[in-house]
Chains A and B, each alone.
Chain A
Amino acid sequence: MNKTMPTEISLEALIAGDRAEFARLVDAYSSPIYRLGLRMLGNPQDAEDILQNTFLNVLTHISEFEGRSSLATWLYRIAANEALMLIRKKKPEVNLDDAESADEAEDLLPTQFVDWSALPEAQLLSGEGKQTLDQAIQALPESMRLVFLLRDVEGLSIRETAEALNLTETNVKTRLLRARLFLREQLSAYYGERLTREE
């Protein structure tokens, strides 16, 4: 089970139409789903639409949930589909079905070899540093970003991520590796330059 959603929700109560339980579900899951929308679409209005549509879908389809995945994975699946639908609508030029480019394990070779890993977290995440990380995440191609957000930001397992996105575990691992190396490269360019300047 992933680390971000520890709350035990009763599926039986949800299916029976227990509104208090549904409110608990909404409170337990709305922050991560909002974050996912925010990082996938890049603006608060779209993130809110994804959030609302996800839970409206849950209300409509909860009786069809068969429990083959966890409730959290099912919710992420709905949210990811909502995000992808909105991307298709708003950015038709983005090719989300181009699985090949996301799954090819080539062009991974790093070019930055400055070790900035010992810098204190306060320095790494202050002002410009945080902005660099945010921009680097936004610069990831959508199909890689979705894998990265579910696995590394929200803490789903490889298997849960694969289930949520209807991908094979091998696809998830490849996209995750590419995403991590891409972000590392971007951060290394930024911190490497700062370290060199300080020397």
Chain B
Amino acid sequence: MMTEHVHKNCESLLGSLSEYIDGGLSPELCQEIEKHLEGCENCRVVLNTTKRTIDLVHAPVEKPDLPDEVRERLFKRLNLDDYLKPK
């Protein structure tokens, strides 16, 4: 079967890593990846740290809101002054 060969080495796994994390792969491919991960510590580290990298980007501290003065200037530029009440 084709999938038996696809993830036999780390380079092939890397190519599918992103989709694996996003849950976009078939159960068969996931199984192949997990089988490889069981025996490959480096790939487990790459997987864990890639997931963690994505988590960090999602952390609230990384998503600042719009500064009030920027919002105010935007509303004025768009002639929306009448609707400029606090959010």
- A residues in contact (CB < 8 Å) with B: 19-20, 22-23, 26-27, 30-31, 34-35, 44, 48, 51-52, 55-56, 59, 105, 108-110, 112-117, 121, 124-125, 130, 133, 137, 152-153, 158, 173, 176-177, 180-181, 183-184, 187-188
Q: Which secondary structure dominates chain B's binding surface?
A: helix
Chain B 47-81 interface residues, beta-carbon cutoff 8 Å to A: 48-59, 61-67, 70-71, 73-75, 77-78, 80
Instruction: Determine which residue in B11, B21, B62 has the highest number of CB atoms from chain A within 10 A of its CB, and name it.
Output: B62
With A and B bound together, what is the CA distance between A43 and B80 in angstroms? 25
Residues A22 and B57 in contact, CB atoms below 8 Å apart:
no
B interface, how many residues as a size bin?
Answer: 35 or more
Top 4 A-B pairs, shortest CB-CB distance: A23-B83, A177-B18, A117-B48, A117-B52
Q: Given that A22-B80, A23-B83, A177-B17 are contacting pairs, would A113 and B45 also be in contact in the complex, using a CB cutoff of 8 Å?
A: yes
Residues of B within 8 A of A19 (CB): 80, 82-83
Q: Is the interface of A mostly helix, strand, loop or mixed?
A: helix
Q: Does chain A have a CB within 8 A of B37?
A: no
Measured between C-beta atoms, what is the minimum distance from A118 to chain B in Å? 8
Q: How distant is B62 from chain A, measured CB to nearest CB, in Å?
A: 7
For the complex, give the distance between the alpha carbons of A145 and B45 in Å.
24
With A48-B73, A116-B52, A176-B18 in contact, do A153 and B46 touch (Cβ < 8 Å)? Answer: no
Contact A30 B15 (CB under 8 A): no
Q: Complex: how many Å from CA A41 to CA B11?
A: 33
- Contact partners of A116 in chain B: CB under 8 A: 49, 52
| Chain B residues numbered 1-60 whose CB sits less than 8 Å from any CB in chain A | 11, 14-15, 17-19, 21-22, 24, 41-42, 44-46, 48-59
Q: For B87, list chain A residues within 8 Å (CB).
A: 27
- Residues in A with CB closer than 8 Å to B74 are 26, 30, 48, 51-52, 55
